[in-house]
Amino acid sequence: MLQIQNNFPLKDLNTFHFDVYASSYIKTNSTEDLRTWITETKPDINRLLVLGGGSNILFTKDYPGIIFHPSFDDITILEKKNDEVLIEAGAGKTWDEFVEYCVENSHYGVENLSLIPGTVGAAPVQNIGAYGSEAKDVISKVNGIFLDTGKEFSLENRECNFGYRNSIFKNELKNRILITSVVFRLSTKENYNLKYGHLEERVKEFGDINLRNVRQAVTAIRSAKLPDPDKTGNAGSFFKNPEIPASLFRDLQTKYPDMPGYDLNNGTFKVPAGWLIDKAGWKGKTVGNAGVHRDQSLVLTNTGNATGRDILSLAASIENDIKNKFGITLEKEVIVI
């Protein structure tokens, strides 16, 4: 089925809660109907946008084209073999409900990604990650449809060009496709990834090491650390953690001995963007209704009636300041529309 509406409000479909509208909005849970609509309408793909939960998007204005909102939300077990299970989840399924399903059914591999907002269909787009796990570690295939021809595709993991918060869907296939479902390869054998930070200790606070307790620990850490978008508009980490040349990292460490960095063993170091923003003195600062969160400098917030342009202008000031102070260019993780 396709539900088509015009002049559609997006306030509840973007976690910054900007009061913007889409010229047209199409909700669909049928690949068949979508294919028919595309072949009959032959839409201009420069005026199409796929929107999941809107938790990684910043709208600077009303969207002057068509927004597709996939609502496929089935979960199907495709195969169980040896110690693995192949599960297909619809793109519109809420990501955290999918994680909950896996935890309750003893499927190992996505528990560290508990409580990440958004939908299953968006998970491969920026290769979501948290607490030492990334979606790419468990994605087997991504299925979808080309928005210009209506042709279906299925990409194997290696064809998705996954990288740090990156994939083919943010590059060559950007704005050209709609992901309809994702196939995950999960383990049915006990298998945890608790090396990140103090995760193992936090899990033990809940009792034995098991899937439910890992999920509870991750949920508790995230809830304490990150602002709830339902209360304070935000889109999680606004910037990516920059990867800088080892020579620059060493120079900066001479000046700032407490500067953290992770050696990527390829001549570059990954530096926490939050540390740079803190060090530059932005933590807790607000400009009008656009703010830098008081506990998490990487998160920019809508503290009232900010617009996308207000947040973007604050982001630009931060980017300039970080460039001037550290010689580092910050790259946005959030997609600006």
Ligand X SMILES: Cc1cc2nc3c(=O)[nH]c(=O)nc-3n(C[C@H](O)[C@H](O)[C@H](O)COP(=O)(O)OP(=O)(O)OC[C@H]3O[C@@H](n4cnc5c(N)ncnc54)[C@H](O)[C@@H]3O)c2cc1C
Q: Is 155 in the site for ligand X (CB under 6 A)?
A: no
Q: Is 182 in the site for ligand X (CB under 6 A)?
A: no
The Cα 121–Cα 127 span in angstroms is 11
Catalytic status, residue 297: no
Say how many C-beta atoms besides its own lie within 10 A of residue 164's C-beta: 15
Shortest Å, Cβ 92 to ligand X = 7
Which of 90, 150, 229, 242 is the binder for ligand X (CB under 6 A)?
A: 229
Shortest Å, Cβ 112 to ligand X = 10
Of 2-10, 228-236, 249-257, 310-318, the segment contacting ligand X by CB under 6 A is: 228-236
Under rule CB under 6 A, which residues in 308-337 are in contact with ligand X? 335
Which of 29, 56, 133, 301 is the binder for ligand X (CB under 6 A)?
A: 56
Shortest Å, Cβ 15 to ligand X = 4
Which of 67, 87, 125, 277 is the binder for ligand X (CB under 6 A)?
A: 125
Q: Smallest Cα–Cα separation from 95: which of 138, 152, 31?
A: 138
Q: Across the chain, where does the E strand assignment appear? A: 2-9, 21-28, 48-50, 57-58, 63-70, 75-81, 84-90, 129-130, 133-134, 139-146, 152-156, 177-187, 233-237, 243-245, 262-263, 268-270, 286-287, 290-292, 299-302, 335-336
Set 133, 167, 237, 297: catalytic member: 237
Under rule CB under 6 A, which residues in 128-147 are in contact with ligand X? 128-130
Strand partners, 153: 144
The Cα 112–Cα 129 span in angstroms is 8
Q: Is 261 in the site for ligand X (CB under 6 A)?
A: no
Q: Is 221 in the site for ligand X (CB under 6 A)?
A: no
Angle formed by the axes of helices 211-225 and 95-104, to 10°? 150
Catalytic status, residue 159: no
Q: Is 234 in the site for ligand X (CB under 6 A)?
A: yes
Catalytic status, residue 158: no
CA distances (Å), origin 106, targets 187, 287, 316: 8, 46, 44
Q: What are phi and psi of 44, to 5 degrees?
A: -80, 110
Which of 24, 28, 112, 126 is the binder for ligand X (CB under 6 A)?
A: 126
Which of 54, 90, 109, 261 is the binder for ligand X (CB under 6 A)?
A: 54
Q: Is 28 in the site for ligand X (CB under 6 A)?
A: no
Q: Smallest Cα–Cα separation from 88: which of 73, 96, 77?
A: 77
Label residues 76-91 b or e (16+ Cβ within 10 Å = b). Answer: eeeeeeeebbbbbbbb
The answer to whether 125 and 139 have CB atoms below 8 angstroms apart is no
Q: Is 52 in the site for ligand X (CB under 6 A)?
A: yes
Q: Is 122 in the site for ligand X (CB under 6 A)?
A: yes
Under the rule (CB under 6 A), what is the footprint of ligand X?
15, 49-57, 70, 91, 116-119, 121-123, 125-126, 128-130, 169, 177-179, 226, 229, 234-236, 335
Residues assigned a catalytic role: 165, 237, 333
